[in-house]
């Protein structure tokens, strides 16, 4: 089973790669960190066992202030990610309070270590490989 982890513009590359590999491999989990132009395209999320998007809450009710948002890749939802499975398998996970947030900070992949601290009961839990 193959897993994909992407950050920023690699989201677009990952979508293209998925299209070329569809039907040739079995997809496992897809972890998308601070994707750029996420709402411009997506994939068939049912190909994966889980799909999680991590990033800022720009397009949500009560978003963080602009200075705490991702200024490199303003966040929008990966097309269709919230409507594929129940919330235990796909969705968005926003940068929590207490984690590093800022115009550039919210985009830096080095500031996403918090995703590894999520518990199995939380959306976006990163499972270890067997």
- Give the model's confidence band at 16: pLDDT under 50 very low, under 70 low, under 90 confident, else very high: very high
Tokens matching residue 71: 């200024």
For the chain, how long is the longest CA-to-CA vector? 43
Closest CA to 25 of 48, 7, 5, 53: 48
DSSP state of 20: H
Closest CA to 124 of 5, 9, 43: 5
> For residue range 83-106, what is the model confidence (pLDDT) as tens digits?
666 666 889 999 999 999 999 999
| Whole-structure pTM value | 0.93
């Amino acid at each position: 089973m193959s897993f994909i982890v992407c950050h920023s513009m690699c989201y677009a590359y990952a979508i293209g790669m998925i299209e070329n590999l569809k039907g040739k491999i079995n997809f496992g989990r897809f972890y998308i960190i601070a994707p750029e132009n996420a709402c411009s395209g997506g994939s068939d999320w049912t190909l994966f066992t889980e799909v999680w998007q991590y990033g800022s809450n720009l397009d949500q009710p009560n978003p963080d202030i602009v200075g705490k948002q991702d200024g490199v890749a303003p966040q929008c939802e990966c097309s269709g990610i919230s409507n594929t499975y129940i919330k235990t398998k796909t969705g968005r996970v926003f940068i929590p309070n207490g984690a590093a947030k800022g115009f550039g900070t919210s985009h830096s992949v080095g500031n996403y270590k918090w995703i590894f601290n999520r518990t199995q009961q939380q959306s976006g839990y990163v499972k270890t490989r067997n």
